[in-house]
A and B are shown apart, each in its own frame.
Chain A
Amino acid sequence: MDSKVKQTDTLIVLRADNLGRSVRDKVLVADASFEVHKGETLVIVGPSGSGKSSLLRLLNRLDEPTTGTVYLDNVDYRQIAPRELRRRVGMVTQRPFLFPGTVADNLRFGPRQRGQDLTETRIEELLASVGLAGYGSRGVANLSGGEAQRVSFARTLANSPEILLLDEPTSALDDDSKHGVEVLVAEIGREHGIPCVLVTHDVAQAARLGQRVLMLEAGRIVRNGTVEEVLGA
Chain B
Amino acid sequence: MLKTLFHGQLQLGLAQAVVAGVAALLVVLMGRQRGVHLEKELASAMVRGLVQIIAVGSILLLLLRGPNWTSVFLLIVMIVAAGATSARRAKGMPQAFQVSTWAIASGAGSVIAVMTLLGVIDTPITTLVPVGSMLIANAMNTNGLALNRFRADVLAHVGEIETALALGADAKSSVAPYVQVAFEASLIPAIDSLRSLGIVWIPGLMAGMLLSGARPVYAAIYQFVVLAMIFAGSGLTSLVSTLLMRTRVMSRAEQLILRPGA
Residues of chain A touching chain B, judged by Cβ–Cβ distance below 8 Å, are 60-64, 78, 82-84, 86-87, 90-91, 93, 95, 97, 99, 109-110, 113-114, 155-156, 159
Residue numbers in A under 8 Å from B168 (CB-CB): 83-84, 86-87, 110, 113-114, 159
Q: Is the CB of A97 within 8 A of B253?
A: no
Name the one of B167, B170, B173, B253 contacting A110, with C-beta atoms under 8 angstroms.
B167
| Chain B 166-199 interface 0/1 with A at a Cβ cutoff of 8 Å (1 = within) | 1111100100000000000000000000000000
Residue numbers in A under 8 Å from B52 (CB-CB): none
Q: Is the CB of A113 within 8 A of B160?
A: no
Q: Is the CB of B163 within 8 A of A97?
A: yes
A115 to chain B, nearest CB (A): 11
Q: Is the CB of B166 within 8 A of A60?
A: yes
Q: Which 6 A-B pairs have the closest CB atoms?
A: A97-B163, A87-B168, A110-B167, A91-B166, A82-B254, A97-B159
Q: Which of B49-70 contact A (CB under 8 A)?
A: none
Name the one of B160, B169, B170, B255 contacting A62, with C-beta atoms under 8 angstroms.
B255
A62 to B167, CA, bound (A): 11
Residue numbers in A under 8 Å from B253 (CB-CB): 61, 64, 78, 82
Closest chain A residue to B159 by CB distance? Answer: A97
Name the one of B159, B166, B169, B170 contacting A95, with C-beta atoms under 8 angstroms.
B159
Given that A61-B253, A61-B255, A62-B255 are contacting pairs, would A86 and B160 also be in contact in the complex, using a CB cutoff of 8 Å?
no
Q: Is the CB of A62 within 8 A of B163?
A: no
Q: Is the CB of B255 within 8 A of A86?
A: no
A205 to chain B, nearest CB (A): 22
Chain B interface residue count, Cβ-Cβ cutoff 8 angstroms: 17
Residue numbers in B under 8 Å from A84 (CB-CB): 168
Residue numbers in B under 8 Å from A87 (CB-CB): 167-168
Residue numbers in A under 8 Å from B166 (CB-CB): 60, 62, 86, 90-91, 93, 156
Residue numbers in A under 8 Å from B243 (CB-CB): none
Q: Is the CB of B159 within 8 A of A86?
A: no
B251 at the binding interface (Cβ < 8 Å): yes
B165 at the binding interface (Cβ < 8 Å): yes
A23 to chain B, nearest CB (A): 8
Given that A64-B251, A83-B254 are contacting pairs, would A113 and B167 also be in contact in the complex, using a CB cutoff of 8 Å?
yes
Q: Is the CB of B167 within 8 A of A155?
A: yes
B153 at the binding interface (Cβ < 8 Å): no
Residue numbers in A under 8 Å from B170 (CB-CB): 83, 113
A89 to chain B, nearest CB (A): 9
Q: Is the CB of A113 within 8 A of B169?
A: yes
Residue numbers in B under 8 Å from A156 (CB-CB): 166-167
Q: Is the CB of A86 within 8 A of B167?
A: yes
Q: Is the CB of B255 within 8 A of A63?
A: yes
Q: Is the CB of A159 within 8 A of B163?
A: no
Residue numbers in A under 8 Å from B160 (CB-CB): 97, 99
A61 to B256, CA, bound (A): 11
Residue numbers in A under 8 Å from B256 (CB-CB): 62
Residue numbers in B under 8 Å from A114 (CB-CB): 168
Name the one of B159, B167, B173, B255 contacting A159, with C-beta atoms under 8 angstroms.
B167
Beyond A62-B256, A86-B167, A97-B163: 10 further Cβ-contacts under 8 Å? A63-B255, A64-B251, A87-B167, A90-B166, A91-B166, A93-B163, A97-B159, A109-B164, A113-B170, A156-B166
Residue numbers in A under 8 Å from B162 (CB-CB): 62, 93
A203 to B170, CA, bound (A): 36
Q: Which of B119-171 contact A (CB under 8 A)?
A: 159-160, 162-170
A95 to B162, CA, bound (A): 12
Closest chain A residue to B170 by CB distance? Answer: A83
A82 to B168, CA, bound (A): 8
A115 to B170, CA, bound (A): 12
Residue numbers in B under 8 Å from A113 (CB-CB): 167-170, 173
Closest chain A residue to B174 by CB distance? Answer: A113
Residue numbers in A under 8 Å from B159 (CB-CB): 93, 95, 97
Closest chain A residue to B166 by CB distance? Answer: A91
B32 to chain A, nearest CB (A): 35
